[in-house]
A and B are shown apart, each in its own frame.
Chain A
């Protein structure tokens, strides 16, 4: 099959076949990061700009490394040190960047839909690296890649997504992606962190952690989104931790070969205990490694020519 999208704005609009094609492509690119010479000439002469209106370590560095390993030129803009602090609008920033002829702009913004707006006014490819509480497609794709790597297939798996579901773009993108496969998803959080209508996405909903983890193949933990007001939905971090911090006893209720995932950054002792984060079931650092491969695949597929 061939890739037909100009942008990657969300996983919702991707088909199951497109996701699998992307994961297969990522599988080939992952080997490059494991060799002595970690570079191929594939995207020579292409320019990738990362434009981050929110803080990021993993995603921004991952995109930059992915671009550089494909020989594209990567330019990073963090808004704190850019003209955004002088009052420039997103549209003006986008148009000005376009004048320097980039091939891809990777954007993270606190406003849902910001990448979609840029994609309508700019000719270059836009990749959504997180827009508010809406979508974070590359995170869901690297999570799927990691699940498929560890479990060989995504179909037939029971998956728990636990934490601040209401404010999590990672949860949303993962639900959209996983529902394209034959999966059973359970979302678990305090009732205040479960958005209304969640069950209509076809997932099970519970506020009991021990119930959520029972018999699961995959457990995805999420942090409390303090920057989106997450802490105001719970009485205290301490109370949250006492009820929703994943510990070894919880992991013991899941399947014997369960994998524990976390998109990072982790708040140890709040949503996940040290013993679980660093334990034998944790694939959290595999997710980070796979993130580079998945982003290389996306940059490659979006940078294709016309014929």
Chain B
């Protein structure tokens, strides 16, 4: 059983609003850079990057982060696949907006912050997510949120994006 939280148009509107909020909060795109967390955060980051680049008429620095090496549960997992991290710019003195699809426990965000700190010393790190589903296990809050929905523990929130899933939507399913 699936319930749609955001349809295609709503996803697009959320991304547009987050883009404008990022520009508003940082008063433009100076020393701003975006880092998408694999897998779906990368596609969201690319879309936000394109929108900002169009408005600000400059190419935004865009990075891709794989947090596998920084997971806190790696000792219990069977060596999850490590993918490439590609951050082709210096993070020092940058304002970095981390972009992920779903914010849940906050553990992925913690790993991502640690991974970026190992690359240098950014001025600040902000967090943008398409869905905040609550149930945090760490003291982490997003700066930009597409939709806030308090999901029950047995519910799962999936973000689908046209780049890999064929269409844009955010759906809720009950775990069996």
Contact = CB atoms under 8 A, between A and B. Distances in A.
Interface of B is mostly: loop
Given A31-B85, A42-B70, A37 B119 contact: yes
Interface string B111-122: 000110011100
A28 B114 CA distance: 17
Interface stretch (A11-19, A214-222, A280-288, A299-307): A299-307
A57 interface: no
Contacts, number: 59
Give the interface residue-count category, chain B: 20 to 34
B70 A40 contact: yes
A86 interface: no
Contacts of A2: 78-79, 81
B74 interface: yes
A169 B159 CA distance: 50
Interface in A5-57: 21, 25, 27-29, 31-32, 35-37, 39-42, 45
A304 B78 contact: yes
Contact of B75 (A21, A28, A305): A305
A2 B79 CA distance: 7
B69 interface: yes
Interface in B69-124: 69-70, 74-85, 114-115, 118-120
B132 interface: no
Contacts of A28: 66, 82-85
Nearest to A71: B69
A3 interface: yes
A35 B84 contact: no
B82 A300 contact: yes
Contacts of B78: 2-3, 304-307
A41 B69 contact: yes
B79 A301 contact: yes
Interface string B47-59: 0000000000000
Nearest to B119: A35
Contact of A31 (B70, B76, B84): B84
A45 B76 CA distance: 13
Contact of B76 (A37, A302, A306): A306
Nearest to B115: A40
B79 A37 contact: no
A225 B118 CA distance: 43
Contact of B69 (A27, A37, A40, A304): A40
B118 A39 contact: yes
Given A25-B81, A28-B84, A305 B76 contact: yes
A191 B35 CA distance: 58
A101 to B, nearest CB: 14
Contacts of B75: 45, 305
A36 B120 contact: yes
Contacts of A27: 84
Nearest to A37: B118
Contacts of A41: 69-70, 114
Contact of A300 (B66, B79, B114): B79
A304 B71 CA distance: 12
Contacts of B79: 2-3, 300-305
B72 to A, nearest CB: 9
A6 B153 CA distance: 35
A36 B119 CA distance: 7
Contacts of B114: 41
Nearest to A38: B118
Contacts of A303: 79
B38 to A, nearest CB: 11
A20 to B, nearest CB: 12
Nearest to B84: A28
Given A35-B119, A36-B120, A40-B70, A307 B82 contact: no
Given A42-B70, A301-B79, A305-B75, 13 more contacts: A3-B78, A31-B84, A36-B119, A37-B118, A41-B70, A42-B68, A42-B69, A45-B75, A302-B79, A304-B77, A304-B79, A306-B76, A307-B76
Question: What 7 A-B pairs have minimum CB-CB distances, sorted nearest first?
Answer: A304-B79, A40-B69, A305-B76, A42-B69, A304-B78, A28-B82, A37-B118
Interface of A: 1-3, 21, 25, 27-29, 31-32, 35-37, 39-42, 45, 297, 300-307
14 contacts: A2-B81, A21-B81, A28-B82, A31-B84, A37-B118, A37-B119, A41-B69, A41-B114, A302-B79, A305-B74, A305-B75, A305-B76, A305-B77, A307-B78
